[in-house]
Amino acid sequence: MTDWIERFEGLAALPKAIRDVLVNRSQVVHAPAGHIIFGPGKSPDYLLLLLEGTVRVHQTSETGREIVLYRVEAGQSCVLTTACLLANEEYSAQGEAETDVEAVAIPRTVFDELMAQSGEFRTFVFNAYSRRITDLFRVIDEVAFGRIDVRLAARLIAMGAGLREIKATHQQLATELGTAREVISRQMHEFQRRGWISQSRGTLVLTDRAALSGLAGH
């Protein structure tokens, strides 16, 4: 298994020697859906590069409400945790395998060596940071200033891309947006009234994606 590097845009250009270090000193690991990959009091000792599956990173409030901060998809890395990894600090956020996950685990010592040896690797890491931080800024903007109907429509469009139906409860949608279940129920009811979606327990179908996209701002 040496060709997983090809799946990572920023790594494919690494010199042979560096790639060898990466391949030889990392290992491919698996986690089942639902597994908590990192969280309060559980900082990972590895930088993960996702080969398959997605990791959902979310935060829980004192009152139990949750919000999804971002997702790590196949071909991306769990890079924000490296700050914690090298700095020994802990985040209040939690990373959970949303599906069964296959990933390359790079030990912190190897990560540190690569940061020292390879400008391309540094670029890869900072690029990944950049993307995540941009995500966080977007979340702050949406939560602070966005309307819930717009945000919900956008999320439905994103979740439903390429799918005939979406499997999700109202509670799960509420967690996506950091709001309450009742708020989602009411919005969904309104979308249904307008004929934009149809739903049954646990699943929903987007019957008018154009209208949803329009509300979401294209």
Write out the residues near DNA by the rule CB under 7 A. Answer: 63, 65, 145, 147-149, 169-171, 178-183, 185-186, 188-189, 199-202
Binding at 211: pick from its own copies, DNA, none (beta carbon under 5-8 Å per type):
none
Q: Closest separation between CB of residue 154 and its own copies, Å? A: 14
Binding at 140: pick from its own copies, DNA, none (beta carbon under 5-8 Å per type):
its own copies
Tokens 């009411």 belong to residue: 186
Binding at 163: pick from its own copies, DNA, none (beta carbon under 5-8 Å per type):
none
With 0-12 CB in 10 A as exposed, 13-18 as middle and 19+ as buried, what is 206?
Answer: buried
HSE at residue 106, side-chain half, CA atoms within 13 A, is 27
- Rule CB under 8 A: choose which of 3, 41, 63, 218 binds its own copies: 63
Q: Find out whether 185 and 170 touch, Cβ atoms under 8 Å.
A: yes
Q: What whole-number distance in Å separates Cα of residue 202 and Cα of residue 188?
A: 12
In sequence order, the 6+-apart residues with CB closer than 8 A to the CB of 200 are none
Q: What whole-number distance in Å separates Cα of residue 20 and Cα of residue 180?
A: 48
Work out whether 39 is an interface residue with its own copies (CB under 8 A): no
Site residues for its own copies per CB under 8 A: 59, 61-63, 65, 67, 69, 80, 82-87, 89, 91-93, 112, 115-117, 119, 122-123, 126-127, 129-131, 133-134, 136-141, 143-145, 178
